[in-house]
Amino acid sequence: VFELEERYVSLLGEARELAAEVAPFADRADEADRFDPDVRKALVASGLTSVVVPAAFGGRFEKVDSLAVTVIREGLCAESAHLDGMFAMQGIGSFGLVTAGSPSMQERWLPKVASLDAVAALGLTEPEVGSDLRALTTRIESVDGGVRVHGHKSFITNAGDADFYLILGKEALADGGDGYTLVLVPTDTPGVYVDHPHQIIAPHVLGDVVLDNVIVPTDHRIGEPGKGFKIVLATLATFRVSVAGAAVGLAESALHEAVRHAAERELFGTTLDRLGGVPAALASSWVEIEMARALTYRAAAAAAVDPLASLSLSSMAKVGATEMAGRVVDRAVQVMGRFGLVRGSKIERLYREARPMRIYEGSSEVIYDSLAKALVKSVTA
Ligand SMILES: Cc1cc2nc3c(=O)[nH]c(=O)nc-3n(C[C@H](O)[C@H](O)[C@H](O)COP(=O)(O)OP(=O)(O)OC[C@H]3O[C@@H](n4cnc5c(N)ncnc54)[C@H](O)[C@@H]3O)c2cc1C
């Protein structure tokens, strides 16, 4: 399949329309560390968050479709990382509930996630634990009348604005070993505290979540004890490729900024787009964007059919497109000279926003490591 089907083209169009609506206040929203009310209002009105929840719970499509999420993120991230993050986290923060939540939790939360009446979040990272998730220290245990969750999660997107967190912790299993379990913790549960100790170079709705002996009812368990990683993997398999879509949208936006500038700026008796290495910088960026887009759509289309079977392809798209966005946005700034460095300009914002993409949802090194393992296995098997 080399062209997007009509329904995806139309979703991309919807996303671009919403992005254009948000564009006048995107610079303000992208500096915010809490939900921007106008972005939220526009996203609600667009109805696009219904794409990240299955139809049975108020969603737009029968099941969550990775290609749909990916093209929407392409459209949104071209204008605003804040808007893109708000959209994407509704899916990433609720997919565990979709795949393995109890019926009571699904009915209580998913329709509200679809309409953005409830904000979702996923808590994996801890102050001392990132890529090496098996080292996490949050404890989960059954107690009389419920489940106790005790620990500290860090760098959690939507912390402070979320209505619930899916928390991954360690639990002693019946067989005597330790396993990893996912539990839904509503924000208003006693013992949940949110703090904002860090902000990053591209401001983000981000915070730490402390869970101080929090007790939730048993139906708040997501799946069986010890099955947490499997559920997190299903989430990654469905959503990782959508980061590639966001990176393609961001890179294209940066290239267009540079092209507009270079075509207008006159020096040495011509325009900048004809000078020295500038044509090659612009054209090679265009080539890289189109290559990344082709792999991204292919991987997302495969993930829409069978997310787990296509995880390597999704990982390739994620690492390929986010590394590409880093190069493209850097070249764009270089082409624009001092104008590319001005605080508050769109290109400066895109430059900062491209950077975290290579670290979250599987850092480039961690993805290369797992791809290399898969490659060696496939060639030597
Ligand atoms: C904007 C943003 C939003 C985030 N949102 C969330 C969220 O909602 N929920 C959540 O749980 N977490 C979230 N995170 C955290 C994110 O998942 C972690 O930053 C990520 O897992 C990497 O962990 P780390 O930062 O601790 O880096 P580390 O694990 O300390 O890694 C440091 C460096 O070492 C490299 N490295 C690590 N292991 C290996 C290896 N085996 N081989 C080679 N190199 C390696 C990494 O690639 C990286 O370059 C967010 C982070 C950011 C920046």
Residue-level pLDDT at 182: 98
Nearest by Cα to 353 from 122, 64, 78, 96: 78
Ligand 1, atom nearest to 124 Cα: 11
Indicate the top mutation candidate among 128, 200, 240, 359 to test ligand 1's pocket, ranked by most ligand atoms within 8 A of CB. 359
CA 359 to centroid of ligand 1, rounded, Å: 5
For residue 215, the SS3 value is strand
pLDDT tens-place string over residues 296-335: 999 999 999 999 999 999 999 999 999 999 999 999 999 9
Phi-psi label, residue 208: left if phi above 0, alpha if psi -120 to 50, beta otherwise = beta
Q: Are 121 and 166 in contact (CB under 8 A)?
A: yes
Ligand 1, atom nearest to 132 Cα: 29
Ligand 1 atom 29 nearest Cα: 131
Residue 61 to residue 47: CA distance in whole angstroms: 12
**How many Cα atoms occupy the beta-carbon half-sphere of 15 within 13 Å?**
30
Residue 87 to residue 91: CA distance in whole angstroms: 7
CA 324 to centroid of ligand 1, rounded, Å: 19
CA 106 to centroid of ligand 1, rounded, Å: 29
Residue-level pLDDT at 39: 98
CA 136 to centroid of ligand 1, rounded, Å: 13
CA 368 to centroid of ligand 1, rounded, Å: 14
- Ligand 1 is surrounded, with C-beta below 6 A, by 122-125, 130-131, 155-157, 200, 204, 206, 356, 359-360, 363, 365-366, 369
**What residues contact 373, with CB distance under 8 A and at least 6 apart?**
none
- Report the 3 state secondary structure along 167-198: EEEEEECCCCCEEEEEEEEECCCCCEEEECCC
What are the structure tokens assigned to 135, written together? 């080292």
For residue 211, the SS3 value is strand
Residue-level pLDDT at 2: 76
Indicate the top mutation candidate among 119, 125, 198, 353 to test ligand 1's pocket, ranked by most ligand atoms within 8 A of CB. 125
CA 133 to centroid of ligand 1, rounded, Å: 10
Alpha helices for the chain (secondary structure H):
6-22, 26-29, 37-46, 66-77, 81-92, 95-100, 103-115, 228-264, 278-305, 311-336, 346-354, 364-380
Ligand 1 atom 40 nearest Cα: 366
Ligand 1, atom nearest to 133 Cα: 21
Residue-level pLDDT at 164: 98
Helix 6-22 / helix 66-77 crossing angle, nearest 10 deg: 30
Q: Are 273 and 279 in contact (CB under 8 A)?
A: yes
Residue-level pLDDT at 237: 96
User: Tokens 């048993």 map to which residue?
Assistant: 218
Residues, the chain, total?
381
In the chain, which residues have pLDDT < 70? 1
CA 366 to centroid of ligand 1, rounded, Å: 9
- List Cβ<8 Å contacts ≥24 apart for 126-129: 126/151, 126/152, 126/153, 126/154, 127/152, 127/154, 127/208
Q: Determine phi and psi for 28, rounding to 5 degrees.
A: -65, -50
Residue-level pLDDT at 1: 58
Ligand 1, atom nearest to 363 Cα: 47
